[in-house]
Amino acid sequence: MLGGVTTTLAISIFSLLLGLAIGLPLAFIRTYEKSLGFFVDVFEKVFRGIPELVLMLLFFFGVGMYFRFPFKIALFTAVFVLGLRSAANQSQIFRGAIRGIGEEQMVAARSLGLSRFRSIVHVMIPQVFIFSTPGLGSEYALLVKDSSYAFVIGVLDIMFTTDMIRKATFDFVAPYIAAAFLYILLTFPIATWFDTWGSRRKKTLGL
Amino acid sequence: MMECRHLWKTYEKHLIAVKDVSLQIKEGEIKLIFGPSGSGKSTFLRCMAMLTIPEKGDVFLREECLTKPGVNLNVARARIGFVFQHIYLFRHLTALGNVELALRRVLKLSKEEARERASGALREVKMEEWAHHYPAQLSGGQQQRVGIARALARNPDIILLDEPTSALDPELIGEVIDTLRDLAKKGTTMLIVSHEMPFAREVAEEMIFYDEGTIVETGPPEQFFTNPQSERAKKFMTRLIMKTKRE
Amino acid sequence: MLPFEFLFEYLPLVLNGLILTVEVTLFGIFVGLALGIVLAIGDMHGGKVVSTLIRFYVEFFRGTPIIVQLFMFQYVIPGMLHLPTNTYVTAFSVFALNSGAYQKGYVKGAMEAVFEDQMMAGLSIGMSKVQTIFYVVLPQALRIVIPAWSNEFCSLTKSTAALAIIGLLDLTGAGWQIMGIKYRVLETWVFVAIIYLIWITIVAKIADTVYERKKIPGIEISA
């Protein structure tokens, strides 16, 4: 069962990071480069509007038929799908944070002579992070839970191992209760810690 | 009309907002409470209205004791009109709706009766044109006037006003004061907490200086403006007069 | 020949699947709303015991994946209490309970935003606490909740895909069936995905219209 936990955690964390890597730039592009806005919107609509399970099945069985590598690697497809979904979500979260911080910070940075890119990296991004902690915390929890869809395409996560145990012991009760506990343990503490860290940071910076 | 005896109210064990306060107000009288901010005036007023329950002491409305256990507070509160500093209109209802709500749900009037009385109340505060506007579409002064209409609509025995103009922009204060002056002319019993000194001088029969949870001094308005008796009142009035001179 | 033509012989299967998905979603969201309101009020006024029970309930439904919840209701609880299993009962109850847990949070947040002031105002005109909650606090809270509610609607729809895992023939289940029969896997799933997208767009549009109609004039609530 514990092997399953590592896999679940791995999926969640990698998806979060992938989502971060794509979502953060997307949020800034959507805010500051209106011409590309349409594409970002389409991306968000697609990856937030289609169920994660359907996307996984689509890529694993569908695309996987034509591109055996890498889509037939269940773990890859899971992280790929969840990562893109997370990117769409995080793009929204960060956009909200950017809106909350307001124009003034960018204006102030530019007035000092910083290029648009530099302003974003050194001034906006740190603040965006601090503002986004609640959203990111819940996104992480969401990823942990959605990682469970991966067991359908054969990933050895918590659900898969639970099922294996169930098939071996014919016990329908205990394995699932254990799985439930594991998931709760994985979601709540970290999400709350993230939230508290964020609030503390906000307080010290007087935001 | 209304009386309280030996009222006490404390917050968090250190903040005594109301310290053994007793007060009487007769029908038709208009009394004004004033004093430094944070002295507990608002809390005291809310205790009188039984919106905040005092820890010790009694409140009487027309000889009936409100602080006894087993009293139906809702019925009692329906006979007291209250106007809030921050207005607190029901945002999801129009001006007319705000005034009608109590008439329909508390007095259980029919739709037509409630509408008539509510329109009448709005007419008294000169807001009948705005009857179908929502609070967010009205200015602060207009909102407060609707608040006054809402308090009036049930023909309460007495109206308590908690700094009705303090949260308003200066230009908007006048319209509310005018409304209150009209009410005074009609003989409404009013107990007001306010800083509006000119208004107090004109309308109040008695002024009450409230500081640090107790009534320090009471007397007719002239007394405070010409010769306050207590040291604290003297200090407060001097500061107030210097402030008004500067403005 | 259109890539999707082969699917037309399976249209009934797909449509029935869509209907099931829609049914479960609508049941879940509306029963969830009622549940959420009851739970929010219970949490705010019910006393310590009620609040703790509610907390456990919410933590379970918000902390575990929907699949786990479905398995719990389909296998675990019937297993422990020796009850017969009915996949449909499981489906409808799990989604209603799940949505209720999330909506309780939204409703409670919205209520707390207006509660103190509006309760004072309601009491001041002689209404009882209950009357004030019903006629003053809830009408305002429910307006505030609309953006979060439309989010929940979309979330719920996506979660219903898990019904296929317990063997129900919802939209995803239909896709799974077709996949087993026909060779054209990618087209099948793209087709299913598009239908979900259309459904969600309709839902979002409806939520927006509800928001426009019901919003309190003069107040804009940022989603």
Q: Under an 8 A CB cutoff, do C65 and A145 touch?
A: yes
**Chain C residues close to B134, C-beta within 8 Å:** 216-218
Interchain contact, C154 vs A48, CB within 8 Å: yes
Asked if C139 lies within 8 A of B92 by C-beta distance, the reply is yes
A205 contact C CB<8A: no
> Within an 8 Å CB–CB cutoff, is residue C125 touching chain B?
yes
- Of A76-85, A168-177, B144-153, where does mean pLDDT reach its minimum? A168-177
For a pLDDT cut of 70, what percent of chain A falls above it?
A: 98
- Partner A contacted by C196 (CB < 8 A): yes
**Quick check: A172 contacting C, CB < 8 Å?**
yes
Instruction: Count the domains in chain C.
Output: 1
Residue C2 lies in a domain: no
Distances (CA, A) of C218 to A11, A192, B93, B218, C207: 45, 36, 12, 44, 19
Give pLDDT tens digits for B118-127: 999 899 888 8
Chain B neighbours (≥3 Cβ pairs under 8 A) are C
Residue B48 pLDDT level (bands cut at 50, 70, 90): confident
Q: Which helix (H) or strand (E) holds C174?
A: helix C171-181
Q: Which residue of B has its CA nearest to C133?
A: B90
DSSP state of A61: I
Domain of C39: which CATH number?
A: 1.10.3720.10
**Beta pairing partners, B64:** B61
Residues 6 or more apart in contact with residue C183 via CB below 8 angstroms: none
A65 contacts chain C (CB < 8 A) = yes
Q: Is C219 inside a domain boundary? A: no
| Chain C contact for A42 (CB, 8 A cutoff) | no
CB-based contact (8 Å) between C96 and chain A?
Answer: no
What is the full per-residue pLDDT of chain C (223 aa) written as tens digits? Answer: 456 667 777 788 888 889 999 999 999 999 999 999 999 999 988 888 999 999 999 989 998 999 999 988 888 887 777 777 788 888 899 999 999 999 999 999 888 888 888 998 998 888 888 888 888 888 888 888 888 888 898 889 999 999 988 888 888 888 888 887 777 788 888 888 999 999 999 988 888 888 888 777 766 554 3
Name the residue among C220, C174, C212, C179 with its Cα closest to residue C196: C174
pLDDT in tens, B84-143: 988 888 888 889 988 988 888 888 888 898 999 999 989 988 888 889 998 888 998 999
Give the range among A122-126, A129-133, A195-199, B20-24 with minimum mean pLDDT.
A195-199
In a domain, C7, yes or no: no
Spell out which chain B residues touch chain C, with contact meaning CB-CB distance below 8 angstroms: 49, 51, 74-75, 77-82, 84, 86, 88-92, 101-102, 105-106, 134-137, 150-151, 154
Higher pLDDT, B238 or B134: B134
pLDDT of residue C197: 92
Task: Tell me the DSSP string of C47-77.
Answer: -HHHHHHHHHHHHHHHHS-HHHHHHIIIIIH
Tokens 């530099």 correspond to A118
Say which amino acid occupies C115. Answer: F
**Reported ipTM exceeds the 0.85 cut:** no
Q: Does residue C184 lie in a domain region? A: yes
Chains B and A touch, contact meaning at least 3 pairs of CB atoms under 8 angstroms apart: no
For residue A175, what is the nearest residue in chain C, using CA coordinates?
C76
3-state SS class at B4: strand
Task: Identify the structural domains of chain A with CATH numbers, from first to last.
Answer: 2-204 (1.10.3720.10)
> What pLDDT shows up at residue A1?
64
**Contact C198/A at CB under 8 A:** no
Q: pLDDT tens digit string along A141-174? A: 899 999 999 988 888 888 888 888 888 888 778 8
Give the pLDDT of residue C223: 37
Token pair recorded at residue B7: 């009222």
Q: Per the CB < 8 Å rule, is B102 touching C127?
A: yes
Range of the domain at C68: 12-214
Q: Is the pLDDT of residue A84 over 90?
A: yes
Per mean pLDDT, which range of A93-107, A109-123, B147-161, C149-163 is the poorest?
Answer: A109-123
Residue ranges per domain, chain B?
Answer: 81-156
How many pairs of residues across A and C have Cβ atoms under 8 Å apart? 114
Residue C87 lies in a domain: yes
- Asked whether residue C220 is assigned to any structural domain, the reply reads no
Examine residue C41 and state whether it is found in any structural domain, yes or no.
yes
The Cα A78–Cα A61 span in angstroms is 12
Question: Does residue C176 belong to any structural domain of this protein?
Answer: yes
CB contact under 8 A, C124 and B86: no
What's the pLDDT tens digit per position in B202-214? 888 888 888 888 8
Work out the percent of chain A whose per-residue pLDDT is above 90.
17
